[in-house]
Amino acid sequence: MTSSPATVRVSGPPRIPPLPPSEWPASLRSLLADSQKDGAGRVNLFGTLAHHPALAHAWLSLARVLTHEGTLGDRRRELVVLRTAHRLGGTFVHERHRTPATEAGLTPEEILATAAAPDAHPWTDEERALLATCDLLADNSTVPDVLWHHLARFLSSEQLIELLVLAGQTAAMATTLGVLRTPSDDAGAGRPHLTVRLDRERCCGTGQCAGAAPQVFEQSDTDGRVTLLVPEPDPKYTDDVRVATDLCPSGAITLMDAT
């Protein structure tokens, strides 16, 4: 089975530029604040979907169910997402899921192997069946009875349905973001460090910054105003801090980039 991407992501400026968080509907901001544990790399994804709020809410709600209420298990889920994204040229999705995959127990070698030929890594029999299913679906092929019965040996009916929906949802996301040329949030090495300044006297106590970046801001139970916990946060929180800044209605937060 080939491991080459079925499509190639076209480079160039985004066809529909992501909206800044200040222009997102409240429901979308709430979804972002509620998904902090999903990691960084969501700002341009949410900003792109913000052009269609009703669809964004439905799409991201499905993604949240698959991620937090799914029955496949974290490792299986991330294998399916990474393999499907690779096969469909979904650079954004593949890069976005490297951190969740690591948290799900995949090693760096295994993450790389999801973009290689199946026999390039000693996958378990179960994992080979999952990868083979992703390859067939990416090729718009059916799943033969032999493979289906094999999957059914270790997956319940609920999990089999979830497998197909997960692969389809990943394919839709990879295709949509690829065609729209949605840029990544540039998380990772080389990102400038931020220095955060908070004018507590200007804080109006909405607490949106604490919701967007709880590792950096905390809302006081005494006066409702926000306290700055970390003036120079870890670069992995850069996206969250920028969102928090955009959401602040009083302009109490100032960011300074430093290399």
Of the chain, the end-to-end C-alpha distance in Å amounts to 44
| Contact of 229 with 216, CB cutoff 8 Å | yes
Reading the block at residue 251, the tokens are 């302009």
pLDDT of amino acid 40: 62
Model confidence band, residue 258 (pLDDT cutoffs 50, 70, 90) = low
Q: Report the distance separating Cα 11 and Cα 14, nearest Å.
A: 9
DSSP state of 194: E
Q: Is the pLDDT of residue 3 over 80?
A: no
Question: What's the pLDDT score for residue 7?
Answer: 42
Residue 105 identity: G
**Using CA atoms, how far apart are residues 253 and 225, in angstroms rounded to an integer?**
12
The total of other beta-carbon atoms located within 10 Å of residue 12's CB is 7
Q: Determine contact, residues 247/29, Cβ cutoff 8 Å.
A: yes
If one compares 191 and 157, the residue with the highest pLDDT of the two is 157
Cα separation, 191 vs 73, in Å, equals: 32
Judged against a pLDDT cut of 70, whether residue 138 lies above it is answered with yes
Tell whether the model's pLDDT for residue 6 goes beyond 80.
no
pLDDT digits (tens, 9 = 90+) for 13-66: 899 999 988 888 887 777 776 665 565 667 888 889 999 999 998 998 898 899
pTM across the whole model: 0.70
Across 151-163, b (16+ Cβ under 10 Å) vs e yields beeebeeebbebb
Average pLDDT estimate for 108-112 = 91
Whole-number average pLDDT of the chain: 86
Which pair of tokens denotes residue 227? 């306290």
The answer to whether 163 and 84 have CB atoms below 8 angstroms apart is no
Residues 155 and 218 sit within 8 Å (Cβ to Cβ): no
pLDDT tier at 145, thresholds 50, 70, 90: very high
Outline where the chain has alpha helix (H). Answer: 26-34, 43-49, 53-68, 74-87, 91-96, 98-103, 108-113, 125-138, 145-151, 157-180, 208-212, 238-247
